[in-house]
Structure 1
């Protein structure tokens, strides 16, 4: 799409782990730099209790990792479509609704984009997963409606939605010289989304593209779920998960599941949980494990540990081992993690994603042999086991890796220019 003027609207990829904003402009990068010259803004809000400030993105995460007192909120997108969205929490002694947390983050995202673009944005195309919520169409519609309400509340007067893998397909299409049938595999922080799309330079000129979309499907499994599985399998046992009490019963697991899930970590910090874990330590066969857990709760180090697990997962995507530190609440302790351990922990998720893909081909009315290209995008699409298993389903297709963090935002910008025009 060539024009001498910039697009009227932008494309917004509000992601579970990272967010981007794309805007088509002549001879300039599509993605706007949002923080430190980078196009990604981690979807993080940190309420710094020491100076009573609110920090977003890398700056907020760094404040937390540096040990500032405060409250970290991450994976905010996971609240959409859940019962938690209408609830709230307490931050620095004041109640705040989760809906308002999302509003603050998206308002900040808009402000950063406008500062970099040198103009106000009142129209936008927002990306959305194929399913915000699996197997619940009413909750899915409500999730999109909630995101729309938030977007309007921060100043977007016109907005529309596009499936994230379709947006990635539009970005891939800008580099094509011939027609292809493409499977887009978008493995993000919170969902895995798939589209089979017919793409070509000629088809790219059309405003309405639904006839080119052969099938869409998705499942609510993403990078944070792989973090969770790795944590539960290899890290939480160091804190007592699956260990026993003196009466032979297993220690209740709910706290470990909360600590392994980004958006429920703060549930571990209540007085009730503290008292319960102290009681359990007295009856534990391995009380030293519960001592580590109590130290983590006391130091509010749950997000720090989740970050260590996430970094280990990323490292294991490119190397065979990774060293995970528990230093912040258990000085001197480390855990060596291996690729094979990660593969074993991830297998149940990979198999569910595979099952979603096998449903997609009949819906599209094509065979695996008809797929010309598998296009990977999303930050979690680099997980080796997952990539191997997906590619094996389409042995004749070539495998292309897009911009893992930017393809969706760039594709949403292309779609925004088509829908709202150039200025």
Structure 2
């Protein structure tokens, strides 16, 4: 069976074709989407979990490649006093819940796709991301296969951003595709192909067009924003090769995660001491606050988790005017609560789509602590990343050399009125169509899979 597979920065989804229509498979209890997260009681236990689920023909080679990690995994299982068959790795909502239950004890990664194109990764770091993605794909494929009444998924078109990383260029893109391709093979896919996510989102919209149009597709996802100017319509939809229709594109690692981080800094971190003063009259350094919530920056997260970071915060507390606030930052560092703070910001962002103000509980940091968050605060916080999204739209149009007839906006992040209004304001004379905020990419990937593999 051929499917579209959106291995997204925020969520994952799988689509199949039924009687000419796309159907998304329900990967979660109450949703077609699986949250892009993984939690392990110890990071070396990830490769152990992968090995257990690999097909027999792949186990020997994988065991040889991961001999050192598997040895450490056996030691970790003994140290954690885990039974041989006790679950130690969780994916999706199970991962989120495990992290919330034990934030200081395990290894938690949100939006692993955001890291796949990172420059300067060591061999062991690339191997870790291969295992993370493989584990997630194994989980998703098993879920999907179980929903198909005995059928098996064999081929998939996987969505990819125009650029996985703002820097690194094609080398970063090749690294990310190589990780995804290897993980898919280990997970049991016989063959995979890749398609730019904004083009995939536009293909679903194209199916509704009655005449040919030039369309700017703006896909604001969880980890990346991609923009593509594409010729679409009845004269184009049946082509297998769409390269001539693809007029211009741009992409950057800027998305919903960045907006959540920016809101965390603006709305929450002053409750932890950001902006307060030292007794010598100098402001408290901002870097540890940024490192605490920079969940899509592996270097920042690694630095914040170190003993030296803990010691530095303790030294700041000694000479701070508001030591009580910085003690909250120390708790965040000790208990690894950065992801939870960003998750609170994401919840606030969603709530602000329906109301102008929201009170967010931060009692996991300090009893009875609440932060008041307003729409205007959100708009102010995201001014810089939104300006980057607007610049990407202009870049794609400049590359195409023409204005589009329609702007098609999709991606979960674009659901926020604060984001949509900024996108609409840049070209007010052009018609804007808002697509399925979450399902359009998967639908396009699914349609394309029928053409690529048939």
Does TM-score exceed 0.5, indicating one fold? yes
2:110 aligns to what? Answer: 74
Which residue, out of 58, 61, 64, partners 2:93?
A: 58
Note if 1:302 corresponds to 2:335.
Answer: no
Give the Cα separation in 2 of the matches to 1:66 and 1:29.
Answer: 37
Instruction: Label 1:62 to 1:135 Cα distance change in 2 as closer, same or farther (>3 A).
Output: closer
Cα deviation code 1:7-28 (max 9, x no counterpart): x421111111101111212266
Kindly report which structure 2 residues correspond to 1:186-335, keeping only aligned pairs within 5 A, or say none.
186-263=219-296, 264=298, 265=301, 267-335=303-371
Cα deviation code 1:59-97 (max 9, x no counterpart): 2213333557543321111111114754768xxxxxx82
Cα deviation code 1:121-178 (max 9, x no counterpart): 2321110001111243222332222222222232223221100000001111222222
CA RMSD of aligned residues (A): 2.3
Give the Cα separation in 2 of the matches to 1:401 and 1:58.
Answer: 28
SS in 2 for 1:24: strand
Q: How many residues align?
A: 405
Contact persistence 1:86–1:99 (CA under 8 A): no
Instruction: Label 1:187 to 1:67 Cα distance change in 2 as closer, same or farther (>3 A).
Output: same
Note if 1:153 corresponds to 2:203.
Answer: no
Contact persistence 2:119–2:168 (CA under 8 A): no
SS in 2 for 1:262: coil
User: How far is the alpha carbon of 1:351 from its aligned partner?
Assistant: 1.2
In the TM superposition, structure 1's runs of 4+ consecutive aligned residues that sit over 6 Å from their partners are: none
Which residue, out of 19, 22, 26, partners 2:19?
A: 26
2:162 aligns to what? Answer: 130
Instruction: Label 1:359 to 1:289 Cα distance change in 2 as closer, same or farther (>3 A).
Output: same
1:142 aligns to what? Answer: 175
SS in 2 for 1:82: coil
SS in 2 for 1:243: coil
SS in 1 for 2:284: coil
Contact persistence 1:191–1:220 (CA under 8 A): yes
Instruction: Label 1:313 to 1:207 Cα distance change in 2 as closer, same or farther (>3 A).
Output: same
Give the Cα separation in 2 of the matches to 1:349 and 1:364.
Answer: 23
Contact persistence 2:260–2:345 (CA under 8 A): yes
Contact persistence 1:9–1:123 (CA under 8 A): yes
**TM superposition score normalised by structure 2:** 0.83
Deviates more, 1:303-312 or 1:194-203: 194-203
User: How far is the alpha carbon of 1:43 from its aligned partner?
Assistant: 0.3
SS in 2 for 1:162: strand
Contact persistence 2:130–2:180 (CA under 8 A): no
Deviates more, 1:204-213 or 1:185-194: 204-213
User: How far is the alpha carbon of 1:37 from its aligned partner?
Assistant: 4.6
Contact persistence 1:81–1:132 (CA under 8 A): yes
Give the Cα separation in 2 of the matches to 1:100 and 1:173.
Answer: 36
Which residue, out of 121, 131, 151, partners 1:119?
A: 151
Contact persistence 1:299–1:329 (CA under 8 A): no
Give the Cα separation in 2 of the matches to 1:100 and 1:388.
Answer: 40
Instruction: Label 1:84 to 1:267 Cα distance change in 2 as closer, same or farther (>3 A).
Output: farther
Instruction: Label 1:273 to 1:22 Cα distance change in 2 as closer, same or farther (>3 A).
Output: same
2:77 aligns to what? Answer: none
Which residue, out of 28, 35, 38, partners 1:42?
A: 35
Which residue, out of 104, 108, 128, partners 1:97?
A: 128
Deviates more, 1:162-171 or 1:142-151: 142-151
User: How far is the alpha carbon of 1:327 from its aligned partner?
Assistant: 0.4
Give the Cα separation in 2 of the matches to 1:84 and 1:153.
Answer: 24
User: How far is the alpha carbon of 1:361 from its aligned partner?
Assistant: 1.6
Give the Cα separation in 1 of the matches to 2:123 and 2:278.
Answer: 34
